Amino acid sequence: MRTRPLKVALLGCGVVGSEVARIMTTHADDLAARIGAPVELVGVAVRRPSKVREGIDPALITTDATALVRRGDIDVVIEVIGGIEPARTLITTAFENGASVVSANKALLAEDGAALHAAAEKYGRDLYYEAAVAGAIPLVRPLRESLAGDKVNRVLGIVNGTTNFILDKMDTSGAGYSEALDEATALGYAEADPTADVEGFDAAAKAAILAGIAFHTRVKIGDVHREGITEVTAADIASARRMGCTVKLLAICERAADGRSVTARVHPAMIPLSHPLASVREAYNAVFVEAEAAGQLMFYGPGAGGSPTASAVLGDLVAVCRNKLGEATGPGESAYTRLPVSPMGEVVTRYHISLDVADKPGVLAQVATVFAEQGVSIDTVRQQGKDGEASLVVVTHRAPDAALSGTVEALRKLDTVRGVASIMRVEGE
């Protein structure tokens, strides 16, 4: 074993960063044995230096992150501060000054991953980011390495624990969205401002990363169709249950049947209770991967939190340090297919549409005519009426999303349709 330590700089010391520092200290001997050399934490960049950070030598604390990554003797920089800037500049500066980078920054990677990979390649450094997607669940490395010889056609997953907790509580307790969100906040699963989670931004960033890796093409967060869960109601949950389904916020990345394009989307959907993802409860994550040779694979576990995310960071740290010792680098960006990302309108899906209609003869015929005119085939219809008002629930066969959207717009123009109570896609069948 080499006795001279590999030097590590840590950018950020919040929930994840402090746990990374703790494990590096308490498991120092094990990490050294697995790497083949000791690792030494030589600096921790923070915004509030006066805050007490238990177990971290105060002499390591600095507010000058730029000076830390420019030292020139750093082997690996761990970036867990999040956001676009200053993280982007700090990472590229680290590359320029001889350090490889381990990051958990999904937002930055989904927005500017191509430029970061290009910088890493230019300076001969590693860029690893297992912790950016699904916390402790090994997912990025299996897609980048274990399945590198296979052809992945679909990635379907629950990649946000906050929304899964909320939807699970709505399903199991009958709570409304607001009540379930309040419980998630009280338990620490939701941030004070939960927008990134409940509006699907967090999941969309992860979907962009997964699609890029799985299909060997460049996908940015702006390419991902995004819908959140704020409009999901207790009635939607009940309708799903009557169909033998449950509602999940899904990240779905697919290769087109002809292989010429890909799609990436995040939205709530009904999935059958028989599907493996239907049993994912509380704040857990799970990702279902479909590959030509390997078949169907499922990855499951805690998708967030200090310890799970730190586990993924340290796994990358070990890999990058081993590469350093071997004077090599691991896999970089693979975007050779250059496949375009198709718009949501071209995606073929099923729909569950709930309508408030007048309770009188001929309404069903009018609604069915609209579907036929738009080229959308109806699978099932359920109608209930009372006191001149009725509800009509239509489940379609698979059709292009644009056709289904056109159908909904045409339905809104019918005099007999009082309103569209809910619209939800049906997946996983």
Q: Which of 106, 169, 206, 248 is catalytic?
A: 206
Structure tokens given for 379: 């699978």
Residues 138 and 49: their CA atoms lie apart, in Å, by 33
Q: Look at phi and psi of residue 98 and say left if phi exceeds 0, alpha if psi is from -120 to 50, else beta.
A: left
Show the DSSP H helices in 7-160 as ranges: 15-26, 28-35, 65-69, 87-96, 106-123, 140-141
Q: How many residues appear in the chain?
A: 429
What sign results for the dihedral spanned by CA atoms 345, 348, 352, 358?
positive
Give the 3-state DSSP-derived string for 258-312, with helices as H, strands as E and coil as C.
CCCCEEEEEEEEEEECCCHHHHCCCCEEEEEEEECCCEEEEEEEECCCHHHHHHH
CA angle 11-334-287, nearest 5°?
75
Name which of 293, 290, 265 is nearest 276 in CA terms.
Answer: 290
Cα separation, 350 vs 270, whole angstroms:
10
Residue whose C-alpha is closest to residue 311's, from 95, 163, 164, 102: 102
Looking at this protein, which amino acid is placed at residue 255? R
Tokens matching residue 168: 């699970």
Distance CA 66, CA 70 (A): 6
DSSP secondary structure letters along 38-67 = -EEEEEEE-S-TTS--TTS-GGGEES-HHH
Per the annotation, the verdict on 324 as an active-site residue is: no
Q: How many CB atoms lie within 10 A of CB 84?
A: 12
Active site residues: 206
